Structure 1
């Protein structure tokens, strides 16, 4: 099993929907970080103020198929590719120090959503 780090940066008002998508697709836990976003070039708002959007960064270590499925679904359903909404993507994980990958694989197999196996096979 290959591990991927799912990273989703979403507008604060989309956090709950993003967590629900991840949960529905098999993520069993994630780290949430509060953030502020700034665009380049800067987005100027009313009275010339610079927009600093309140955002949430969601991170989860998952098997490759699950991470990719969650990122794709978040980007489509939450319209993350539109301006000021965010982005969901996956990063490869070469080393997993302190994490028993075999135990992670067993956990995924035991808790996979009904009808889904590793790799999205049925």
Structure 2
């Protein structure tokens, strides 16, 4: 089975929605890291202090067949019209170790359900 890493960078207030949508599309586990970033626009300041919103970086290892459905679900959360509130992308994984076999079984069961 081939795997993909799905990486999502989103504001903290969208974290639960991102996780819910990813799991609905077949993701099983999510690693959450705190983050902060600077977008393309100028940073906001308040009395000379720079305001940077906090973000979550969510990492998921999923079966390759789940990548497109997960990204499609995440698009619904992250993009509203022309406004983007986050970023999601996928990277193919060449080599992998340490994944629990129960996750592989769940990936395969999800694949069988979606094929029928």
Q: From the superposition, tell whether residues 14 and 82 of structure 1 become closer, same or farther in structure 2 (CA, over 3 Å).
A: same
Where in structure 1 do 4 or more consecutive aligned residues deviate above 4 Å?
Answer: 45-49
After TM superposition, the structure 1 stretch with the greater mean CA deviation from structure 2, 31-40 or 88-97, is 31-40
TM-score by length of structure 2 reads 0.79
Q: Tell me, which stretches of 5 or more residues in structure 1 are unaligned?
A: none
Cα offset, 1:41, TM superposition: 5.0
Conserved 8 A contact 1:30-1:59: yes
User: After superposition, what is the alpha-carbon deviation per residue over 1:26-52, rounded to whole angstroms, capped at 9, x for unaligned?
Assistant: 111110111112124533345564341
Cα offset, 1:89, TM superposition: 0.8
Q: From the superposition, tell whether residues 68 and 45 of structure 1 become closer, same or farther in structure 2 (CA, over 3 Å).
A: farther
Cα offset, 1:78, TM superposition: 2.8
TM-score by length of structure 1 reads 0.75
Q: Tell me, which stretches of 5 or more residues in structure 2 are unaligned?
A: none
Q: Give the superposed CA RMSD.
A: 2.8
